[in-house]
Amino acid sequence: MAESAEQVHARVRAVADEHGRVPLPSVASWDVFPWEVVDGALAAKPLAAPGPEEPREGEGGVDCAACADGPRGVIWANDRWRLRHLSERSGLPLVLILEPSAHLDLPDLDDAMAAEHGVLAVRIARVVEGLPNIARCHVQRIGDGAEHLHTWFMARTAGLSSIRGSFAVDWDDILPPGPEDVWLGDLAAVAERLAAYDGRAVPLDD
Ligand SMILES: [Zn+2]
């Protein structure tokens, strides 16, 4: 069962500094991070000059990690889709990625696959939001980094008011990961409940 807000708060405060802060995550140094400190005050960075689009990983199916490496961290699959976890635990209770088995981007899905994507998104959100201590399962597709469709499902702890809204993505990088046994238990619960609809739960040590 996912940690309660009180358990998360106590665990984070135990490793935080005297002001309650944990170290700045690496995302703060990324060029796309939109904020910077100017003369001691937080400011938006200047908009960079226009330029060519950065190539995405796996464009045209060439050197696609999702295809070449085979599925890793998969917790559930059917004939056309798989749901996997990130290779490492992160700050939010669960971060899951739904992707097609075939090399397809979102606009590439035919109507049948698009319908399946929608049904699966609803089922995953329903299952994750049904876990104890989870208030919300955020669903998003961005796709600027890699061409192979990967739709994100990010679980937010109930009762942690700092982590509401789209900044949950940032908190996933900020917060230290929770206990591994809790994470594994939640992954197994999600896989089993999804398999009750369709597909199969994949053992976590596969
Ligand atoms: Zn691919």
151-157 and 200-201 beta bridge pairing: unpaired
Residues 87-98: tens digit of each pLDDT: 889 999 999 999
- In angstroms, rounded to a whole number, what is the distance separating the alpha carbons of residues 190 and 93? 12
Centroid of ligand 1 to alpha carbon of 64 (angstroms): 5
Ligand 1 center–CA 62 separation, angstroms: 8
| Cα–ligand 1 centroid distance for 100 (angstroms) | 9
Contact by Cβ (8 Å): 100, 112:
no
Rounded to the nearest angstrom, the distance between the alpha carbon of 26 and the centre of ligand 1 is 26
CATH number of 5-50+65-201: 3.30.428.10
**Distance between Cα 118 and ligand 1 center (Å):** 20
**3-class DSSP state of 6:** helix
Q: Which residues contact 59 (CB under 8 A, 6 or more apart)?
A: 147
Residue of 86, 59, 52 whose CA lies nearest to 72? 86
Whether pLDDT at 206 is above 60: no
How many whole angstroms from 82 Cα to the centroid of ligand 1? Answer: 13
Residue 61 has pLDDT above 80, yes or no: yes
91-141 pLDDT per residue, tens? 999 999 999 999 999 999 999 999 999 999 999 999 999 999 999 999 999
* Mean pLDDT computed over every residue of the chain: 95
pLDDT at 68: 85
| 154 touches 168 (CB < 8 A) | yes
Confidence (pLDDT) at 72? 83
Number of Cβ within 10 Å of residue 82's Cβ equals 20
**CA separation for the pair 54, 52 (Å, rounded):** 6
| Å from CA of 80 to ligand 1 middle | 13
| Extents of the domains making up the chain | 5-50+65-201
Number of H helices, E strands in the chain: 5, 8
CA 145 to ligand 1 center in whole angstroms: 12
- 29-46 per-residue burial string, b: 16 or more CB within 10 A, e: under 16: eeeeeeeeeeeeeeeeee
Q: What is the DSSP letter of 83?
A: E
- The residue that leads in pLDDT, 206 or 54, is 54
The string of pLDDT tens digits covering residues 73-84 is 999 999 999 999
pLDDT score of 88:
86
* Cα 38 to ligand 1 centre (Å): 41
